[in-house]
Amino acid sequence: MAGWQPCSTPWWCELQRGIENVEYACGAPELLKGEHSKNVGPNIDSWSEFQPLGVVAGITPFNFPAMVPLWMFPMAIVCGNCFILKPSERDPSSTLFIAQLLQEAGLPNGVMNVVNGDKVAVDTLLNDERIQAVSFVGSTPIAEYIYKTANANGKRCQALGGAKNHAIVMPDADMDNAVNQLLGAAFGSSGERCMALSVAVAVGDAAADALVEKMQAAMQSLKVGAYSEKSNDFGPVITRAHQQKVVGYIDSAEAQGAKIVVDGRNPKVAGFENGFFVGGTLIDNVSPEMVSYKEEIFGPVLQVVRVNSMQEAMDLIDAHEYGNGTCIFTRDGEAARYFSDNIKVGMVGINVPLPVPVAYHSFGGWKRSLFGDLHAYGPDGVRFYTKRKTVTQRWPSAGVREGAEFSMPTMK
């Protein structure tokens, strides 16, 4: 999976990444092996083991209704827990189908459970004392609410929130490659994914001009339309309200002085005139004080910010409240290493626009993109769904009786 790139068919990418997490979870005997130390004191051995929490829950978003649950319940179950899944009320069908497949495969009743509903269902899970841990993926305001509520009720919680992912485009970048990568990263899945690249930070006007010119030309062939037409690059956004929200951000950028280079506010899709479509949109001359820059748009909109140096670009990224993903396009290894070592973001790409970790690493951002100490899936997933128990054991030699001890036994 080294050098993994986004697929041209997002639904297959979603399933493939989910399947990879299932395959990783199949290594549970290796992942759950404890640690053993012999003779930590006189005839004393010590070891740690990882035991299940009990009943755990997951609350998942609409945009990846198969993949995100597959981040959670396979690892939770192989670690010995029972799992309750609350999928998005907007598209629960795939989750119910997966639960049906698990039942057909022979998973005992009660190990995997699906609860449909909205905030009432969420609050029930957060307040039920039988549930020991909660995993969540969604927007930052809801992530923060879930994290605070779960913690107030004594539950372990990992809550993954929103993002504003930046790509630095250096003057030495392979501009044609950067444009091709940004097309998929900004507009794939209609921009409705937490790893979407929504801001291109161009270093120097020459790089910015070249980027905007090439992006504008490349975007002429972008097609938005119904999911049933395979030639389309992406489809509608999730609801009419969200369509209006995305268009509102474009309006806001224009009103605050940005330049709309490619306008996707009124796409014409024959036969689907009332669909929730937003076309690919390119906005230049965006500045950090603009509302459209500060907030997560979650739509097919790429904004271009112009800066004078790489350090200025990094300072811009570090100053943002979100720290989910970022990348740099460059041919300079020294610049790339400095960027990856020093940027304050959880997932970093070097000429890779969607640096989504493979299943045997863990997924999660920094700052207000993640609430909790442990990231999703991978090694952190094992630790999240288990609790460590350390055992210290001594078997005295036959006929030998130890005297009173006034210090820790292992200190003798």
Positions marked catalytic: 194
Closest CA to 335 of 352, 347, 350: 350
DSSP 74-140: HHHHHTT-EEEEE--TTS-HHHHHHHHHHHHTTPPTTSEEE---SHHHHHHHHH-TTEEEEEEES-H
Q: Is 283 helix (H, G, I), strand (E, B) or coil?
A: strand
Q: How far is CA 292 from CA 56, 126, 368, in A?
A: 37, 32, 17
Rounded-to-10 torsion of CA 27, 29, 34, 36: -120
Q: Are 288 and 319 in contact (CB under 8 A)?
A: yes
Distance between CA atoms of residues 134 and 316, nearest Å: 33
Phi, psi of 27 (to 5 degrees): -85, 20
Q: Rg of the Cα trace of the chain?
A: 24
Name the phi and psi angles at 379, rounded to 5. Answer: -60, -40
Task: State the Cα–Cα distance between residues 14 and 69, nearest whole angstrom.
Answer: 11
What gap in Å lies between CA 64 and CA 88, rounded to an integer? 10
Q: Beta strands 197-203 and 301-307: pairing type?
A: parallel
Nearest by Cα to 186 from 239, 246, 258: 246
Rounded to whole angstroms, the Cα distance separating 254 from 284 reads 10
**101 contacts: CB under 8 Å, gap ≥ 6:** none
